A and B are shown apart, each in its own frame.
Chain A
């Protein structure tokens, strides 16, 4: 698996971006690539702990976390997703694993269960795991130190750990960013979401977890063309962080969330949103993938397939 990872990784620098400085390049996600790590160190597992946050609620953090974790696992990496929204857990629902929960993160933290016992292995993709949150407790049950401890244990076995952060800027958020190596900020192209994301980025920079990387979720290209929705440029003008993905508004995402089958897990039917998630995971692995042109609608056959697929099951 690791060899495949090394072979698939592309160039460590991007030649077509302008105005780059050397120190900046080192921090870019494109440089986290097997190709730049000396061979001796390849044996040591370098796990990345990534927190998906947003500030505002309802922008799609849980959906993004579930889909990124699934897409990453589909490419062969060992992935664990952790739901940090204690008390209002829903990552398990979106991933379709709620019926298999026996222990949760609070059980790990309070010593009632070991890490391996609480980690649920997804039957569809054996390298995908989930540590669910507790539904009957609240965010005061876990401290940032506990989260760091749990993630440190996970680092030994996993390639990627995704943390689904709750909305807000209080303990839940602090818990979720404590162990993270990298923060992804999910934003909707609307003013209130951007405002909250700005605040979050400020906090992340102050906590020295920055810079974050931006995912714009629920883009509607037609509205942007009509000038009714914030464009990518408008959002980046205020937030001034690097864009790592844009996901279009897609009804199918709602359908798949309800079914517990993240859209990234479905077969490649040309759906742009599914592609967008996979592209993000490739960028997280260091590949330089050009952004999808959201203006282009998927071809008629692809749309037919999506429609049929949605109706069939």
Chain B
């Protein structure tokens, strides 16, 4: 019998949907092979779980680092990302921290994270508020899930975003970038419009998928180096492009188009599609995407762009940009006028040099020898 069809209170392993992702609760009654049971459940419907974030709640159970790593890999194989482990056990928390996982989730109360739960687990689905920008990256485990999806309307296909500019229709959700539950996405992407509509209502401390945790051992803000401006190096041979997020958007788009028909079977790895925005980002806007981001317009100071891949701004880049999150050193940031408040690639941060009044020149910022440098664009003759 599938996990989802058993009444929730009796389950040794409970899966509940929430705004922070899937909460997978493993009670102490479960034998040591809880991971195997969990895998058995997932393997029943492999494509069903894809694209979700997972919070693992284990109570007093001790989980050593190797086992936690195995769990992380297992979830990753099914397209889920484990991002937090809640436990009272100090060994488990230590293991989680070693792997860079969160050990506290502001949205999940301490009472909820303790075991056993007495009240029945309610399947919560975040209500679609007006202009609700928080994307639902998972589908609540329910036998009715396919029906629910059918009522949602056309699934937002990543390729469509590349083809059409976000429309400015009046009836349409302003944050049309927020995807509907999308089983065909290769990788989850978040579009968080901060807060045109959510001041005071959102949990400010919510860890989103594309936020980096600060180093718990550091005592002060990191020192920021200025980014040197350099002349471009001679062209390097581009014969073998690594299969990374630098693949052309068109190729990726085609890959997506093909895979739509297959439905749930997706390759486990592959670059996320690129996002094109044909508008100026004003201060306060935040765009986050797992793939590359292309902006036809300016990025004003106060706006931020966080991308898993490259960031290309056809305009003035004056806001905050973070490319290659979390650790893709090969990502680049291009702009017609590269003047961000702060520029980050992978885990390096830099500030632009303070030139008094310079003519804007197209530049590309990349990591060379462990430092971020800005290369002037020079036409190749």
Contacts and interface: CB of A to CB of B under 8 A. Distances in A.
Interface residues of B, number: 15
Given A195-B301, A208-B170, A238-B300, A202 B282 contact: yes
B199 interface: yes
Contact of A202 (B170, B199, B200, B285): B285
Nearest to A227: B357
B283 interface: yes
B280 A170 contact: no
Given A195-B283, A198-B282, A203 B301 contact: no
Interface string B187-210: 000000100100110000000000
Contacts, number: 35
Contact of A203 (B170, B200, B284, B300): B284
A10 interface: no
Nearest to A201: B282
B362 interface: no
Nearest to A238: B300
Given A208-B170, A240-B280, A202 B196 contact: yes
Contact of B301 (A169, A205, A238): A238
Which of the listed residues A195, A196, A199 has the most CB atoms from chain B within 10 Å of its own CB? Answer: A199
A203 B280 contact: no
Contact of A198 (B174, B196, B283): B283
B228 interface: no
Contacts of B282: 198-199, 201-202, 205
B45 to A, nearest CB: 38
B181 interface: no
A205 B300 CA distance: 15
B12 interface: no
A214 to B, nearest CB: 14
Contacts of A208: 170
Contacts of A301: none
A113 B170 CA distance: 36
A24 interface: no
Contacts of A207: 196
Interface in B48-83: none
B302 interface: yes
Given A202-B285, A206-B174, A195 B200 contact: no
B174 A202 contact: no
A170 B301 contact: no
Contacts of B174: 206
Given A199-B283, A240-B280, A206 B196 contact: yes
B300 A198 contact: yes
Contacts of A198: 282-284, 300-302
Interface string B265-283: 0000000000000001011
Interface in A166-214: 169-170, 195-196, 198-199, 201-203, 205-208
A203 B302 contact: no
A15 B333 CA distance: 42
A195 to B, nearest CB: 6
A198 B282 CA distance: 6
A64 B280 CA distance: 29
B305 to A, nearest CB: 14
A198 B285 CA distance: 10
Nearest to B279: A205
B196 A170 contact: no
Contacts of A170: 199-200
Contacts of A203: 196, 284
B277 to A, nearest CB: 13
Contacts of B170: 208
A169 B199 contact: yes
B135 to A, nearest CB: 18
A170 B193 CA distance: 16
Interface string A217-242: 00000000000000000000010100
A209 B222 CA distance: 41
Which of the listed residues B196, B199, B282, B285 has the most CB atoms from chain A within 10 Å of its own CB? Answer: B282
Given A203-B196, A207-B196, 14 more contacts: A195-B302, A196-B283, A198-B284, A198-B301, A198-B302, A199-B283, A199-B284, A201-B282, A202-B196, A202-B284, A202-B285, A205-B282, A206-B193, A238-B318
Interface of A: 169-170, 195-196, 198-199, 201-203, 205-208, 238, 240
17 contacts: A169-B199, A170-B199, A170-B200, A195-B302, A198-B282, A198-B283, A198-B301, A198-B302, A199-B282, A199-B284, A201-B282, A202-B196, A202-B285, A206-B196, A238-B301, A238-B318, A240-B280
A-B pairs, top 3 by smallest CB distance, nearest first, are A202-B282, A198-B283, A199-B284
